[in-house]
Amino acid sequence: MVDAFALALSHGMLALVIWRLLKVQKAADEAAKPPRRMPIRGGRPRA
């Protein structure tokens, strides 16, 4: 019972760390992407 508790707690924390890391790094990757260029209204700009 104690073994099961210890294994579950420690592995649960490890899984949480990995999940948080993936989430934080994905957010960092999104933030690092260049902003999308929006199309200009009314067609091409004049020279």
Partner 1 sequence: MRDLMMIGFILFLIGAAMARPFLMSMAYIYVDLVSPQRITYYLLSSIPFSMIMAALAVLFFLIFEDKKNLRFGRLQVLMLIWMAWITFTTIISQLPEFAWIKWDSAWKSIAFGIFLPFVVTSRQRIETTLYFLILCVGVITITGGVKTLLGGGGYGTLNLLVETNSGLYESSTISAVAVAIIPLILYLYNHNTLFPKSKLLALFAGGLIFASLLIPIGTEARTGLICIALLGGMLWLKSKRKLMMLVLLGGIALGSIPFLPKSFTGRMSTIETHSSDESASTRVAVWKWTLGFVADHPLGGGFDAYRLNSIEYDMIGPDGRPKRVVDKARAYHSSYFETLGEHGYVGFALYMTMQIVALFQLRGLSRRFKAAAPEDAWIRDLATALFQTILTYMAGSAFVGIAFQTTLYLLLAIAAALAQFVYVRDAAERKAMTAKPRFIPGVGVTAAG
6 binds partner 1 (CB under 8 A): yes
| Closest to partner 1 by CB, 5 or 34 | 5
- For position 27 contacting partner 1 by CB under 8 A, the verdict is no
Residue 32, amino acid = A
Task: Tell how far CA 4 is from the center of its chain.
Answer: 31
Instruction: Show the CA angle centred on residue 37, arms to residues 31 and 41, nearest 5°.
Output: 145
22 binding partner 1? (CB under 8 A): yes
Give residues in contact with partner 1 (CB under 8 A): 2-11, 13-15, 17-18, 20-22, 24-25
